[in-house]
Structure 1
């Protein structure tokens, strides 16, 4: 999943600050989700740079990682249902996620 090269650098896609700022500040979303293991791209996490994830969590927003079957959810008009407990002092927890399609 990390798709590491010979030097141990991960190569998987991640979000950009510009896109996340637009989604959270302009569109007022509460959470974002993706198939990859992190919000930050692999090249950044290989250098212990989790600045995008930190930015979201500091603003009391959250992310949903390792989602599957996103290709089966339409780009518009679907409703995502996300349920999970949040343990006191915990940084994350497995989630149950499903989409209600139009």
Structure 2
């Protein structure tokens, strides 16, 4: 999302962090407005649902932070997996050939 200087200034004045603006970009609901502009907002019901999802994700974040997705050029998710840390953990307990 591109921010204008005006938007940056208002975010600073109103203590709205850039992360929240990004969150609205991902999860906000588009509301048509006058003058050819739209709003991205989180109505109360959707905000509560998102809050629950974020809390559940935060509780598992340490387990998930090495995960990643594999994408095609058109952003289709092919698969998901865990990174090197998970594989390294599973090979530590493997029998060794001494």
Structure whose alpha-carbon radius of gyration is higher: 2
After TM superposition, the score normalised by the length of structure 2 is 0.25
With the length of structure 1 as denominator, give the TM-score of the two structures. 0.24
Structure with the larger RCO, 1 or 2 (CA within 8 Å, 6+ apart): 1
